[in-house]
Structure 1
Amino acid sequence: MSPTEFRSQIAQFTAQLAGRPLDAALDAWLNAEHGAGSPTYQQLKDACQAGVAEGWLCDREGGGIRYGRIFKPADDLHGFSVDVVEMQDIAGPHHTHPNGEIDLIMPLEGDAQFDGRPAGWLVCPPGSAHRPTVSNGRALVLYLLPEGRIDFTR
């Protein structure tokens, strides 16, 4: 897996999200069609694990969290930016999602959950805010942010 291959994989996936509202219906659809155990979920998880192992994903570290924005928003990614974080039993910095956020939760150790959700997808609507928290183990989380918008709370 290379960053170019990963970008192509993400672009094919985000094509299915283009123009859809980030709401409970999208959350339900993602978990039904691409949830834990699905081919899409496994392919994305495998790609993220390979990227971390090869050093081109989660290439920064701060406050016990490995992270990195691998792609800025772009037309081929249907306006989404792509970040991947690795967290273990920790809460990250509080922030808001002006345009919403789509998270792919990929437990690696234990019964890891992200914001209380198990393996699968979490859609945060526009204007939502949280302190992203991984509990009960270690997980990778892939973030898709429309227009790359995220506002960290001071």
Structure 2
Amino acid sequence: MDVQQFQQRISRLTSEISGASLDASLEARLNADHGPGSDTYEELFAACRIGVAESWLCNREGGGIRYGRVLKATDATHGYSVDVVDMQDLAGPHHSHPNGEIDLIMPLTPGARFDGCPAGWRVYEAGSAHHPTVTGGRALVLYLLPQGSIQFTAAAST
């Protein structure tokens, strides 16, 4: 697996969801069709583990979080950028999602959760905001951001 193969795998997924509203129904659909145990989930999880090990994913670090944008939002990814973070038992910087955010939660520690959610998909609607938080161990989280749009804020801790 390399970045080009990773992009091809992401492109198959983003072509399927391109144009969909980022809402609870998309989250349910992703978990039903591409959740833990599915070929998509297992392929992406394996690719992310390889990418981290080979340092083409999560090749930056700050505040105890390893992170990095591996793919910019382009036609090849149907307008989604792809970031991956590696977090363990901490809250990340507060940010908002002007166009929404789709997260793939991949626990490296059994039972680790992201924003209270177990392994699988979490979809945030346009305009939502949060402190991304991993509890119960370590997890990789893949972020799909429409048009690569994210805004870090100076919001008070919640």
Same topology, TM > 0.5 = yes
Q: What pairs with 1:64-143 in structure 2 (closer than 5 Å)?
A: 64-143=64-143
Partner of 2:148, secondary structure, is coil
| Large movers: runs of 4+ above 3 Å | none
In structure 1, runs of 5+ residues without a counterpart are: none
CA distance in 1, matches of 2:18, 2:37: 23
For each residue in 1:84-106, what CA deviation from the matched residue of structure 2 results, as whole angstroms up to 9, or x when unmatched?
00000000000000000000000
Aligned to 1:153: 153
In structure 2, runs of 5+ residues without a counterpart are: none
Q: Determine whether 1:44 maps to 2:44.
A: yes
Aligned to 2:61: 61
Task: Give the Å deviation of 1:28.
Answer: 0.4
CA distance in 2, matches of 1:34, 1:27: 10
Give me the identity figure in percent.
64
- TM-score between the two structures when normalised by the length of structure 2: 0.96
Partner of 2:140, secondary structure, is strand
Q: Determine whether 1:32 maps to 2:32.
A: yes
Task: Give the Å deviation of 1:109.
Answer: 1.2
Amino acid at match of 1:10: I
Q: C-alpha root-mean-square deviation of aligned residues, in Å?
A: 0.5
Aligned residues: 154
- TM-score between the two structures when normalised by the length of structure 1: 0.99
For each residue in 1:99-130, what CA deviation from the matched residue of structure 2 results, as whole angstroms up to 9, or x when unmatched?
00000000001410000000000000000000
CA distance in 1, matches of 2:50, 2:4: 13
The structure with the largest strand share of the pair is: 1
